[in-house]
Structure 1
C-alpha cells in the first residue's frame, strides 16, 4: 500500500497525541481530538504557505 508523507505525518501526530492518554473521556471526545489535530495542522499550513499561492483561492478570503 502506498501513502504520502503527509498521511504518514498525520498518523504519527495522531499516535503522538493519543499515546500518553491512559483514559479517554468517551468515544465522542476521542473523535473530537482526532478531528482537531488535522484542523490545527491545516491552520499552521495556511499561516505559513510555501511558495507563491494564488490569492483568489477560497481559503484566503
Structure 2
C-alpha cells in the first residue's frame, strides 16, 4: 500500500518524521509500505482525487 502525503503550505516533512507519526498512530500491519510526498493531488473534472496517477505510484 502507498500513502500519498500533501503537506500544508510552509510545512517541511521528513521521512523520519512521517515514519514516527505513522508508528505512533497505526498498528504495524496498517502502516503503508511506501509514502509519496507530492505538492498537490491531481483532480478529475468532478473534483475527486485521481487515484491511479502514475506520478504517485510506488516504485
Give the TM-score normalised by structure 2.
0.30
Bigger Rg over Cα:
1
Higher normalized contact order (CA 8 Å, seq sep 6+, divided by chain length):
2
Q: Which has the higher helix share?
A: 1
Structure having the larger proportion of residues in strand: 2
With the length of structure 1 as denominator, give the TM-score of the two structures. 0.30
